[in-house]
C-alpha cells in the first residue's frame, strides 16, 4: 500500500501567495492584530498592525489560529459501522468523516482504529476496510485534512500480535496505544468492565496474566524499532505507568485516576485528555475531570475522542473561568503540544517557515467558537 500524502495535490503557480490581513493572530506566546503571508503553502511572513493591500483576504479582526491537531478520534468508525452489522462504503465513509473533521477546524487528524474486537466483532471486519477506504479516498484527492493512523491495541484480543503486526509498517501509522483491561493491571477495574465487554479471565477471552506482559513488551519493542510513538490507554495504576515508561512509552492516553496522572507527570510523560470531558465538565463514565486537570495545569494536550467539534469548543472553555488560560496557552493544548509530541514539527504554531495550516475563528461570547475558514498546507479547505 502506498503512503497517504499530507493533502490532496493541487496545481500551483511557480509562486502562489496568499495574504491574510487584519487578523488577531494567535502565536506561540502572544496574540496581536496583524497579517500573515503564505507562499507555496508555507508561512513566509508575519507582520503586526492593520494592513490593506489589493488581493489580500481581509479577516476583519477574526482570530487566526494554527489548524487543530487531533491525535485520537473514533469518528471514522461511526461512519463505517452506522449500525451493528451494517458496513458502509469505505470511501464514502472516509469522505463523510473528513467533512466532519474539516468543519471542526482540524487540519491534521489521527484516525483512531481499534485492533481487537472483544465485545464488538464488527471491528475486525471494519479495520482493513477503513484503512483501505482512507487510502483510496486520498488517492482520488477526496480528502481535505491530512489523515494519519492511530492504532488502539486491545490486549484482551488473543490474536493481537498478528493483528497489529500486519499494520506496523503502514506508512501512515503515527501512533499506537495499548489498552490493558485485565486482572493483571487492576482487578477492581477489570471486574467493573468485564460484564460490559463480555470478558472473562477464566473463560480464555483474556490471555493469561503471564502472557500479557510478554505481548505488551513485544508490541512496544516493535513500535520502538520503527520509531512509532506508543502509549498506555485508560490507565488506573501508577505501577502500570512505570512499567510503560520502562518499556519506552511516550504518552499516557486518557488516564482514569489521579494516581495514574501523578505517575505520568513524575515520569515526564504528557497526558492526553478528552475534549468532550473538558467541555462537559466531567467524565461521562465517572472518571477524573479534564477541567480539574486543566485548572491544576496538568493537561499535556487534548484530543476530540468521540466528538470532533469538542476540540475547538475546548479552547473557549480553557480561556474562561475557572481555568483561565491565555489564548496561546489554550491553543497549545489542541495544536502545538500534540504536533510536538508526535514529531510534526512543521505545523502546530503560526511561525515563519511552518506549514500554513490555519483556521479563521470567531469567538461567540459564552457559546462555542465558530469556524469561518481554514487552510491545510496553504490550500483553502473550508
Separation of alpha carbons 248 and 244, rounded Å:
6
340-362 pLDDT tens trace: 999 999 999 999 999 999 999 99
The sign of the CA dihedral 310, 254, 63, 39 is negative
Separation of alpha carbons 181 and 188, rounded Å:
10
143: CB partners within 8 A, 6+ apart: 7, 8, 94, 95, 98, 134, 137
Cis bond leading into 152, ω under 30°? no
Mean pLDDT of 38-59: 93
75-85 pLDDT tens trace: 999 999 999 99
Lowest mean pLDDT segment, chosen from 2-16, 267-281, 317-331, 350-364: 2-16
Mean pLDDT of 90-108: 98
Mean pLDDT of 125-149: 97
pLDDT of residue 9: 37
Mean pLDDT of 20-29: 97
The fraction of the chain above a pLDDT of 90, given in percent, is 81
Q: Is the pLDDT of residue 209 over 80?
A: no
Residue ranges and CATH numbers for the domains of the chain are 17-64+365-380 (2.30.40.10), 68-348 (3.20.20.140)
Residues belonging to the chain = 382
Mean pLDDT (the chain, rounded): 91
113-133 pLDDT tens trace: 999 877 789 999 999 999 999
Residue that is written with C-alpha cell 484527492 in the block: 141
Lowest mean pLDDT segment, chosen from 19-28, 108-117, 205-214: 205-214
What pTM did the predictor assign? 0.92
3-state secondary structure of 378: coil
Separation of alpha carbons 28 and 106, rounded Å:
18
Q: Is the pLDDT of residue 14 over 50?
A: no
Residue that is written with C-alpha cell 482487578 in the block: 187
Strands 17-26 and 31-39: what pairing? antiparallel
The fraction of the chain above a pLDDT of 70, given in percent, is 91
214-248 pLDDT tens trace: 999 999 999 999 999 999 999 999 999 999 999 99
Which one, of 336, 333, 330, 328, lies nearest residue 357 by Cα?
336
Q: Where are the alpha helices (DSSP H) in the chain?
A: 75-80, 90-103, 122-139, 160-165, 187-197, 209-226, 238-246, 258-267, 275-280, 290-295, 310-319, 327-331, 337-341
**Position 5 confidence tier, pLDDT thresholds 50, 70, 90:** very low
Query: Are 307 and 6 in contact, with CB atoms under 8 Å apart?
Result: no
Q: Is the pLDDT of residue 200 over 70?
A: no
Q: Is the pLDDT of residue 91 over 90?
A: yes
DSSP secondary structure code for residue 353 in this structure: T
Amino acid at each position: 500500500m502506498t503512503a497517504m500524502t499530507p493533502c490532496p495535490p493541487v496545481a500551483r503557480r511557480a509562486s502562489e501567495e496568499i495574504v491574510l490581513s487584519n487578523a488577531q493572530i494567535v502565536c506561540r506566546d502572544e496574540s496581536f492584530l496583524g497579517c500573515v503571508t503564505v507562499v507555496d503553502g508555507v508561512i513566509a511572513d508575519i507582520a503586526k498592525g492593520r494592513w490593506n493591500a489589493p488581493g489580500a483576504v481581509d479577516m476583519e479582526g477574526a482570530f487566526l489560529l494554527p489548524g487543530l491537531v487531533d491525535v485520537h478520534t473514533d469518528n471514522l468508525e461511526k461512519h463505517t459501522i452506522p449500525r451493528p452489522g451494517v458496513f458502509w462504503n469505505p470511501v464514502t465513509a472516509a469522505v463523510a468523516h473528513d467533512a466532519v473533521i474539516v468543519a471542526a477546524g482540524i487540519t491534521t487528524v489521527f484516525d483512531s482504529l481499534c485492533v481487537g474486537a472483544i465485545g464488538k466483532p464488527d471491528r475486525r471486519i471494519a479495520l482493513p476496510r477503513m484503512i483501505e477506504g482512507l487510502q483510496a479516498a486520498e488517492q482520488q484527492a477526496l480528502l481535505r485534512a491530512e489523515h494519519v493512523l492511530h492504532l488502539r491495541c486491545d490486549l484482551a484480543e488473543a490474536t493481537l500480535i498478528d493483528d497489529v503486526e500486519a499494520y506496523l509498517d503502514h506508512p501512515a501509522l503515527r501512533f499506537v496505544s495499548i489498552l490493558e483491561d485485565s486482572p493483571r493491571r487492576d482487578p477492581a477495574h477489570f471486574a467493573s468492565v468485564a460484564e460490559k465487554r463480555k470478558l472473562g479471565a477464566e473463560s480464555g477471552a483474556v490471555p493469561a496474566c503471564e502472557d500479557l506482559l510478554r505481548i505488551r513488551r513485544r508490541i512496544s519493542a516493535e513500535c520502538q524499532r520503527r520509531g512509532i510513538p506508543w502509549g498506555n490507554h485508560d490507565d488506573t495504576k501508577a505501577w502500570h505507568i512505570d512499567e510503560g515508561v520502562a518499556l519506552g512509552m511516550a504518552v499516557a492516553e486518557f488516564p482514569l485516576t489521579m494516581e495514574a496522572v501523578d505517575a505520568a507527570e513524575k515520569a515526564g510523560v504528557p497526558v492526553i485528555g478528552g475534549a468532550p470531558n473538558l467541555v462537559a465538565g466531567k467524565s461521562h463514565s465517572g472518571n477524573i475531570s479534564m477541567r480539574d486537570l486543566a485548572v491544576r495545569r496538568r493537561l499535556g494536550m487534548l484530543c476530540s475522542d468521540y466528538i470532533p467539534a469538542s476540540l475547538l469548543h475546548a479552547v473557549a472553555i480553557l480561556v474562561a473561568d475557572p481555568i483561565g488560560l491565555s489564548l496561546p496557552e489554550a491553543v497549545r493544548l489542541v495544536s502545538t503540544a500534540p504536533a510536538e509530541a508526535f514529531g510534526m514539527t512543521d505545523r502546530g504554531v503560526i511561525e515563519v517557515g511552518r506549514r500554513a495550516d490555519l483556521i479563521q475563528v470567531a469567538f461567540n461570547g459564552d457559546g462555542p467558537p465558530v469556524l469561518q475558514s481554514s487552510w491545510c498546507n496553504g490550500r483553502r479547505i473550508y
